[in-house]
Structure 1
């Protein structure tokens, strides 16, 4: 079974689909089920570094799980509350109110005041009304009317202080909620999110030299950073080096929703710790809250509708899970409410990251895994299909031993 996975990823490297990738999976008892890396860390001419489990990569939205753990640690400390208004901790959040239309004759967005306070729970579950601009035509028109590019600006407020696309608590949209949640941690602790995670997450797990928001400033990391590669305009191989591409957009703030860089080994160490409910990170009650489904019927339906609302959203948010499988959201990520035959058991939690990365925790089967690479376009279907087969192989291996 593992030989099949070896062959699939070796073929992807040989075909030019993938420059490099690292995979790690293990079980609830701490046993490693699979650990292997393929290809190169860069397609830049003259750079022959291999992609290994120690290669530092942008994990993009896989940062979100780390930020959620940081938030829950602050809740345990009594300095944050999941259900209180975060406006005092996050200056600028929701300042535009709700965007409800656009007047093309005036080249101006139409707004209405937001009547509902935004809470941390809403930010962590994507029910706050925030949505990434690439997902929303109204937000793109609003940016253009201001002569701004999407996701423009160096600070969190410049990038994430967007009009809300629905009243908080009454829908689902994938967006900057975790960036704002990270800002709440910073406001409550008077520490940068990088410093807080180093103190409370990375150092306790022994991964402090392998995770950072600022890897280029770390002597222990700067020479291990992988470069991003890209497929052609149609999303087809062979991949080539993507010079000048910066997933962070040159931002100076810590973006809790997308800003962490990590090695595969470090992220797996973190993910495995979360799956095993390691007391180094959280109390048992916090793990219960982390993995408890959070959406009411209205928001859950909005999530399922959103994933299938366009091909690009299905690609970015669907993680190769059939539309027929009902989904919900917990504080950690996307939850499959039903099993997918041969891939995962009911209640599996999983999520991904922009440059075709993915993680999963299959609670019932007692396994977790991570796949990290540095390729755009984001969540490219052929690459994500490979990661699905990796997950299937790990599931099959564990189930065969039951």
Structure 2
């Protein structure tokens, strides 16, 4: 296949140290699986990148957290539209940041009047934005002698001023981290324990965890992060000082997972087939349906177009003229793209240029794994697009 040649050339040209790809259909069939390259560029490593290589999956964790949260809703432990402040008193406590006085080195805040709900957390309409995306929040962090998104706990990383009234706009932030914390509060279990019991266990998956360093069986299968230069050009080199968790020690529902692609793909395929061992039919419908009203949807699409970084990192290099919205599962492309995907396909990915997709009309899903930064590097995402296109053209019947 042509995409295989493109990936192989990227490995030979030292753009991509290693990768794993899997695609399948809703009937449980694996349509393609393959891996090549090395799992690490560190001197002592010689292990090839394989389907059982353990990767930091970053924001690909969010899909699992959304499923876990809806499991709690099904069980009556949480409600989508109930304020979360009783279980998460830290969230939103600073109000909304409206400006910053450089002379006084202090932020201007106003109270928010709308309570934050689980629905807002899973939809990124809760008022939060990752601090490293927002200049005002970066100034606020610096005024307190703090670094962005650094610290062991969700509270330390993500107790931030809001940047808009909850429910009125869209920004990409730590909603899934807070949702994971909400699951822990509601169940009395760690997110690791809850997902092992309710998601990974029922699917027979052993290679997903928040704590790979505690797993002796993963020690020699851990991939490491490599980096291209700031322009996304090779050769890739080892990035030994890059900590993808930035000091995190808790289960981070928004980005703290580690998985083999065999393991994650088994979960993704269960999502594609709407496996009833995970959720009932109503919950699957809720997971996939568009959650943004017209105002928030416009804010989302404007956000993706606001800078090349946003269209690359959050828009996943998908053309910005394709209208998008958001579901609890991830980003929905409302219209398909000829030769690539059907209307309503859902996408998301993770910092080390990782992507997954669900194409319900074509009945296929796929995941593309690697461990390369800068995040969502366009040269790597172009390879993942080629993989998706060939899977679509070969297995969906579309040409």
- TM-score category, normalised to shorter length: over 0.9
Aligned to 2:87: 89
1:344 has 2:341 as partner = yes
> How big is the shift at 1:401?
7.4
- Find the aligned partners of 1:325 and 1:401 in 2 and give their Cα distance: 19
Aligned with 2:216: secondary structure? coil
* Structure 1: distance between partners of 2:181 and 2:314: 24
* CA distance, structure 1, for counterparts of residue 238 and residue 322 of structure 2: 37
- Give 1:267 shift: 0.5
Q: 2:114 aligns with which of 107, 113, 116?
A: 116
Deviation at 1:133, TM superposition (A): 1.4
Structure 2 distance, partners of 1:234, 1:317, is: 17
Show structure 1 runs of 5+ residues with no match: none
Question: 2:54 maps to what in 1?
Answer: 56
Match of 1:325 in 2: 322
- Aligned with 1:14 (options 6, 9, 12): 12
TM-score w.r.t. the length of structure 2 is 0.98
TM-score by length of 1: 0.98
Pairing of 1:168-247 with structure 2 (within 5 A): 168-207=166-205, 209-247=206-244
Select the residue among 313, 324, 329 that pairs with 2:310.
Answer: 313
Moved over 3 A (4+): 399-402
Match of 1:157 in 2: 155
Say whether the 8 Å CA contact 1:320–1:388 is kept in structure 2.
no
Secondary structure of 1:220 counterpart: helix
Within a 5 Å distance, the mapping from 1:243-254 to structure 2 comes to: 243-254=240-251
Aligned pair partner of 1:369 in 352, 366, 371? 366
- RMSD in angstroms over aligned alpha carbons? 1.0
Distance in 2 between residues matched to 1:380 and 1:104, nearest whole Å: 34
What is the alpha-carbon distance in structure 2 between the residues aligned to residue 63 and residue 310 of structure 1? 25
SS in 2 for 1:26: strand
Deviation (angstroms), 1:46: 2.4
User: What's 2:139 paired with?
Assistant: 141
Q: Secondary structure at 2:366's aligned position in 1?
A: strand
Q: Which residue in 1 is equivalent to 2:33?
A: 35
Which residue of structure 2 lines up, in the alignment, with residue 263 of structure 1?
Answer: 260
Choose from 124, 127, 140 the match for 1:126. Answer: 124
2: CA distance between counterparts of 1:213 and 1:388?
28
The alpha carbon displacement at 1:134 in A equals 1.9
* Stretch moving more, 228-237 or 367-376: 228-237
1:282 aligns with one of 279, 282, 301? 279
Residues 123 and 401 (structure 1 numbering): CA distance in 2 closer, same or farther, change over 3 Å?
closer
Are 2:84 and 2:117, in contact at CA under 8 Å, matched by a contact in 1?
A: yes
